[in-house]
């Protein structure tokens, strides 16, 4: 099998069955998108004009009044918070992240206070925000959200992520209504969401996306929403956003990736995944079935249960063996404590799925031999 560029650098080959994760480089970018980025890298442009035109082109996809391209979704959160705190006023932009004496509270649900590889609170603080949690980890009420808003509140933040608690939380509709009632902006973290339009259409003022996750763009992100607030986001380029700036090539790469995304590309469905699940279930010590994404997205995965009494290994041990092989196989490992891991088909080829099945079979056979010797 042909070596990829990372193997030529002396690194392991990786099969990414855990999804579009930062720790594995997020996504595989299409050749045509990289060609657009390469052409952009080889030419000069007036960056301010590219920022404006890029925002217009992104907004054609989102239906928003304007957009601002960022280096990533995490930077987008920080910039959106800084926009809410400063309103884009130059003398306040220059102060960030020092927001002492300003209305700087960002109200969010406790069940939305997540770590996606870094705490979301870190991004909020980078933008000068101070987090105010509402509700408990598993339950929140509308009155709690309303009563948390004070003259010190800069914005509400709604987080849509598989990392969040999925039950007992308030809806985006609740957040929109409270934001309008209180006259404050609503920021939505929709980093990995695939729907480009619904969050803007919901009434949010600033919606933050990752370009590299659902849309398979080079490292990038964007904030899309109301023109007034996007202008306040752009103002941060002379403040904290300077340290988060994105290059011209990745801006063009994002635009090309969004154009390509709109052409449509179906994710593997149940019919494609069922033979893989059946093949895994045929291996002694494993049982597999099809599951839907935790956050309700139209993403289907193979859920693999490890049967330790039959295999002689538990799920944590199997997952470690997969990563430690000659080819590092990464699975979705959030529920190892329940004895399961999942395979995300969006980031693997059919041949790689078959390699995963073969590796699980090898692990089972090796364990059988070990048990026989013992």
Read off the pLDDT of residues 229-263 as tens digits, 9 standing for 90 and up: 999 999 999 999 999 999 999 999 999 999 999 88
* Whether residues 249 and 275 fall in one domain: no
- Please tell me the number of Cα atoms within 13 Å of 57 on its side-chain side: 17
Question: Helix 227-235 and helix 47-62: axis angle, to 10°?
Answer: 150
Secondary structure class of 225 (helix, strand, coil): strand
Sign (positive or negative) of CA dihedral 135, 139, 141, 142: positive
Q: Which among 247, 262, 277 is the end of a domain?
A: 262
**For residue 372, what pLDDT is reported?**
66
Which neighbouring-strand residues pair with 222? 69, 209
d(CA 250, CA 363): 41
Closest by CA position to 252, among listed 28, 62, 42, 78: 42
Domain containing residue 295:
5-25+266-373
Quick check: is 184 in a domain? yes
Residue 22: per-residue pLDDT: 84
- In terms of domains, do 188 and 130 share one? yes
- 225 is a domain residue: yes
Q: What is the pTM of this model?
A: 0.87
- On the CB side of 165, CA atoms within 13 Å amount to 17
Any idea what DSSP says for residue 285? Answer: T
Q: Judge if 182 and 295 occupy the same domain.
A: no
Regarding whether 134 and 49 lie in a shared domain, the answer is yes
If one counts every other C-beta atom within 10 angstroms of the C-beta of residue 368, the result is 13
pLDDT, residue 298, reads 75
Residue 33 counted as domain residue: no
Tell me if 132 sits within 8 A of 152, measured CB to CB: no
* Residues 207 and 126 reside in one and the same domain: yes
Q: Tell me, what's the pLDDT at 347?
A: 85
Q: Is residue 145 part of a domain?
A: yes
Closest-CA residue to 70 (of 212, 192, 188, 203) = 212
Task: For residue 115, give every residue at least 6 positions away whose Cβ sits within 8 Å of its Cβ, in sequence order, or none.
Answer: 163
For the chain, give the number of residues. 374
Residues lower than pLDDT 50 in the chain: none
Whether 54 is covered by a domain: the verdict is: yes
Could you tell me the two tokens for 27? Answer: 């996504």
Whether 78 maps to a domain, the answer reads yes
Residue ending a domain, among 262, 277, 308, is: 262
Q: CA angle, corner 328, sides to 116 and 191, nearest 5?
A: 20
Q: What local confidence, expressed as pLDDT, does residue 271 receive?
A: 79
Q: Mean pLDDT for the chain?
A: 94
The reported pLDDT for the residue numbered 265 is 63
Is 36 domain-assigned?
no
89 and 215 together in one domain: yes
What pLDDT sits at residue 1?
56
CA distance 355 to 247: 37
Tell me, what's the pLDDT at 300?
Answer: 87
- Looking up residue 222, the CATH number of its domain turns out to be 3.40.640.10
pLDDT (tens digit per residue) in 94-121: 999 999 999 999 999 999 999 998 999 9
Same domain? 190 vs 310: no
Give how many domains the chain has, as a whole number. Answer: 2
Cα–Cα distance, 18 to 162 (Å, whole number): 13
| 247 shares its domain with 349 | no
> Are 118 and 239 contained in the same domain?
yes
**Domain end call among 212, 240, 262:** 262
**Co-location of 304 and 357 in the same domain:** yes
Residue 65 · residue 233 · CB < 8 Å: no
User: Tokens standing for 127?
Assistant: 């933008």
Q: What is the pLDDT of residue 23?
A: 85
Within a domain: 35: no
Same domain, 171 and 146: yes
* Three-state secondary-structure class, residue 154: strand
CATH of the domain at 278: 3.90.1150.180
pLDDT of the residue at 267: 64
Shared domain check, 299 and 363: yes
Question: DSSP secondary-structure letter at 171?
Answer: P
């Amino acid at each position: 099998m042909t070596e990829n560029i990372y193997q030529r650098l002396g690194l392991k080959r990786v099969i990414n069955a855990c999804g579009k994760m930062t720790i594995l480089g997020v996504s595989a970018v299409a050749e045509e998108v990289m060609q657009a980025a390469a052409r952009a890298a080889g030419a000069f442009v007036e960056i301010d004009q590219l920022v404006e035109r890029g925002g217009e082109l992104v907004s054609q996809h989102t239906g928003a009044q304007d957009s601002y391209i960022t280096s990533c979704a995490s930077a987008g959160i920080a910039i959106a918070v800084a926009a809410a705190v400063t309103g884009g006023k130059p003398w306040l932009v220059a102060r960030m992240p020092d927001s002492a004496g300003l209305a700087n509270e960002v109200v969010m649900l406790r069940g939305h206070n997540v770590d996606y590889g870094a705490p979301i609170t870190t991004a909020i603080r980078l933008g000068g925000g101070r987090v105010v949690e509402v509700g408990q980890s598993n339950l929140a009420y509308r009155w709690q959200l309303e009563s948390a808003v004070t003259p010190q509140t800069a914005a509400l933040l709604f987080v849509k992520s598989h990392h969040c608690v999925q039950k007992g939380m308030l809806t985006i509709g609740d957040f929109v209504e409270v934001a309008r009632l209180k006259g404050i902006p609503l920021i939505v973290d929709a980093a990995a969401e695939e729907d480009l339009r619904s969050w803007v259409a919901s009434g949010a003022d600033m919606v933050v996306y990752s370009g590299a996750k659902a849309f398979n763009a080079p490292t990038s992100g964007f904030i899309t929403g109301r023109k007034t607030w996007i202008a306040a986001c752009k103002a941060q380029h002379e403040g904290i956003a300077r340290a988060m700036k994105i290059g011209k090539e990745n801006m063009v790469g994002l635009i090309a990736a969004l154009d390509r995304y709109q052409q449509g590309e179906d994710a593997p469905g149940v019919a494609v995944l069922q033979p893989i699940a059946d093949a895994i279930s045929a291996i002694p010590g494993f049982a597999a079935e099809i599951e839907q994404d935790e956050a309700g997205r139209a993403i289907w995965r193979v859920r693999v249960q490890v049967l330790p009494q039959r295999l002689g290994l538990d799920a944590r041990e199997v997952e470690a063996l997969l990563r430690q092989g000659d080819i590092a196989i990464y699975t979705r490992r959030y529920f190892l404590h329940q004895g399961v891991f999942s395979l995300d088909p969006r980031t693997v080829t059919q041949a790689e799925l078959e390699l995963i099945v073969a590796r699980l079979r090898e692990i089972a056979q090796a364990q059988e031999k070990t048990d026989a010797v013992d």
